[in-house]
Structure 1
Amino acid sequence: MKKLPIPARRPNLSASLAALAVVAAGGVGTTAWAQNYPITPQQRATAQQTAQAGVPLSELAPNAPDEYTVKPGDTLWAISRLYLLRPWRWPELWGMNINEIANPHRIYPGQVLYLDKSGGRARLTTRRGAGGGEGGTIKLTPRTRFDSLAGMALPTLNPSLIEPFLSEPIVVDENTLQAAPRIVAGNDSRVLLSRGDRAYARGEKDTPLVEVPGPLQHYRVFRSATPLKDPGTGEILGYEAQYLGKVRLQRGESTTVETKDDKDYITVVPATVDVIAAREEIRAGDRLLPEPPRQLLSYAPRAPSTQVEGRIVSVYGNAVQFAAQNQVVAINKGTRDGIDSGHVLAILKNGETILDRTGEKKETIKLPNERIGLLMVFRPFEKVSYALVLEINDTPRAGDFIVNP
């Protein structure tokens, strides 16, 4: 347990709700990193502008509570939805009391939000009556709180929903897996490998699997990739590789030379790897990709700054056609289109094409596209992105449209 001094002015909670939209990829629990994530100039400018006058009451959710105590398990999205009609407009929630911000990336369960709606504008504070006209003198007493670094800060989304996708499935180009090192055999002639087993692997001719100075290298194991095809254009946007587990490189690839009849014969000795995690059984032919470094990603919910018109490519899972709430989908927009983690998009149901039999003659017509939910991008690639379905009032499916919220 780490001893944490509480400053004389406690971090503002609504600011925290707004700005604390960060988790560490591959290590969602490392909230200590998240607390120091910078606020972008655009986000700060929006908040400062809003702070001058508050938020119009028309922007508040109908049942926004006058008082709310933050609970363990809360998320930024859930609390933003509690207060705002459009929760992705988080800088406005932050801006309600920007003047009190000490560290906008810290929020703790047990803090209390107070909503002031005087003068036709809404202001959120952690002090009862702080937004009202006349204020009194507040005596601040230094205190010390003991808390674990893990779990201090609230995440934007439920980490359990997206954590596997931060390191497991990946989208690669056509040649990436084909050029990656491959498992060639298991120890003791084992065909199927699981955690604790030893295996042997080798790279391609020009890129052998060798050791490098430093800590032992870790690799993720993948199987044949599934093509992700754009529903509109038919373009192959990438290949979704199936994550199987992790291995640790114990010895690199080498060669031995044996002389027979005055001739030298070179024999390849494959690298030795140990399986340290297995989601599914691993076998010969599976490919190895280096474990990527941990990344700090911002999941601040916000609308894209440019116009977005795209489609849902697929629903993650084996032979899954329809998406449910809190399920992951792939969309046909990525970093080349300006998509970033935290972007919120509306889902439009692709209206059916039907035969109208009600007129004098039969006629083919297309029903209008209807808005049925919201999703948030949390892992963009170049041409495709993973997004979490946040809320729905119908059932999204592959081929449905995505647009600005």
Structure 2
Amino acid sequence: MKKPILALILLFGLSSLSTATEIALQDRHPDRYVVVKGDTLWGIAGKFLQEPWRWPEIWKMNKQQIKNPHWIYPGDMIVLDMSSGSPELRLVKSLETIKLSPRVRIEPAETNAIPSIPLAAIGPFLSKPLVIAEGELKKAPYIIGTEENRVILGAGNSAYVQSVMEGGALNWQIYRPGKALVDPDSNETLGYEAVYLGDARITRFGTPATIDITKSIQEINNGDRLVEMKEGATISYVPHSPEKTIFGRIVSAYGGVAEVGKGSIVTLNKGGQDGLEIGHVLALYRHGRNIARGEHDDTSPEIVKLPDERYGLVFVFRVFEKLSYALVMQSERPVQMLDDVRTP
């Protein structure tokens, strides 16, 4: 008689990250949860934890596991274990993710593993430069003419490019130089925005070359620049808090608006040189106003600063040397330019 096949249970009992405070569970947390397609690490963490960035602690994960967590797939079950007196998560692998054989074990492709955050929200920011050094686009080939002397181009139109020779890339992205990104504290120019306009494909190499515009999200004109298209990376880092104290500011928001909300992309004035890395979670703070106390009585008015208020969280998903992009994951009020981001 064949014995029943049991699912493989993985217990991550490796070296834990130090915890300053006890991990707080959600009031109505599940005892177990079956992962489904469309889930994210952030969303699952939020089902169990009041502070989702403490996900590595409840798994007892080490640094390498934080950076390469390709181990949770649709169909897997996550079980909350309280037997030790403190919360710990265990992973019960789905029978569909392993082939049970004495000799062969087949793991699912990493591309099927659930991502850290919704990729649809950040996809364009993974494959496009968007932050460039001064003058960097000047080296790129540019549009010198349009079919039938069109002034404005869009998807379905053809154009002529300064020079792309045989052997060059077929697929390109179209950009226009944008505004300077300036640190509000030091006044240092941290980089320049590159405004993404659309995609193009080479139909004839040479000087000039011919392109067909395959996608446009803004008007495209003579002088706009081409950058070779590159495949975007998948964001798989586990949400976690920086090990060092980070104190930064929001210097820009996608679309150039003054206020944004949950699900929006913001640019931070801190980057790799400051210790930021993909997967870091930072808290949003609004500066407290200065008010005059005593102006309604006979005493001289005294200026009092109200406390800074924490109101949300951002997830860092792309890091440059001096800047980084983050997705607003939680927000109790509109996110404004120059608001603070800090280690939670």
Whole-angstrom CA distance in 1 between matches of 2:137 and 2:201: 18
Matched to 1:181, the amino acid is P
Q: Which residue of 1 aligns with 2:83?
A: 118
Whole-angstrom CA distance in 1 between matches of 2:41 and 2:31: 18
Match of 1:347 among 284, 290, 302: 284
The structure-2 alpha-carbon separation of the partners of 1:218 and 1:85, relative to structure 1 and needing over 3 Å to count, comes to same
Match of 1:225 among 152, 175, 178: 178
Q: Which residue of 1 aligns with 2:95?
A: none
Q: Which residue of 2 aligns with 1:310?
A: 248
1:85-108 CA-partner distances (Å, limit 9, x unpaired): 332222223338xxxxxx962323
Aligned residues: percent identity? 39
Displacement of 1:159 in angstroms is 1.3
Whole-angstrom CA distance in 1 between matches of 2:152 and 2:109: 40
SS in 1 for 2:190: strand
Q: Which residue of 2 aligns with 1:211?
A: 165
The structure-2 alpha-carbon separation of the partners of 1:286 and 1:368, relative to structure 1 and needing over 3 Å to count, comes to same
SS in 1 for 2:44: helix
Matched length? 324
Can you give the 5+ residue segments of structure 2 that lack an aligned partner in the other structure? 62-67, 93-97
Q: Which residue of 1 aligns with 2:314?
A: 375
Q: Which residue of 2 aligns with 1:170?
A: 130
1:243 maps onto 2:196 in alignment: yes
Whole-angstrom CA distance in 2 between matches of 1:312 and 1:293: 27
1:87-143 CA-partner distances (Å, limit 9, x unpaired): 2222223338xxxxxx9623233333332222422233356xxxxxxxxxxxx9949
Whole-angstrom CA distance in 1 between matches of 2:32 and 2:262: 28
1:307-330 CA-partner distances (Å, limit 9, x unpaired): 211111122214x11121111111
The structure-2 alpha-carbon separation of the partners of 1:113 and 1:179, relative to structure 1 and needing over 3 Å to count, comes to closer
Displacement of 1:57 in angstroms is 7.0
Match of 1:48 among 10, 14, 18: 14
Matched to 1:194, the amino acid is G
Matched to 1:401, the amino acid is D
Matched to 1:110, the amino acid is G
Can you give the 5+ residue segments of structure 1 that lack an aligned partner in the other structure? 1-6, 16-46, 97-102, 128-139, 203-208, 255-269
Displacement of 1:294 in angstroms is 4.3
Normalising by structure 1, report the TM-score: 0.71
Q: Which residue of 1 aligns with 2:64?
A: none
Q: CA RMSD in A?
A: 3.3
SS in 2 for 1:82: helix
Whole-angstrom CA distance in 2 between matches of 1:141 and 1:221: 45
Whole-angstrom CA distance in 2 between matches of 1:273 and 1:83: 51
1:26-68 CA-partner distances (Å, limit 9, x unpaired): xxxxxxxxxxxxxxxxxxxxx51349xxxx9744333322122
Whole-angstrom CA distance in 2 between matches of 1:169 and 1:353: 39
Preserved CA contact (<8 Å) 1:57 1:120? no
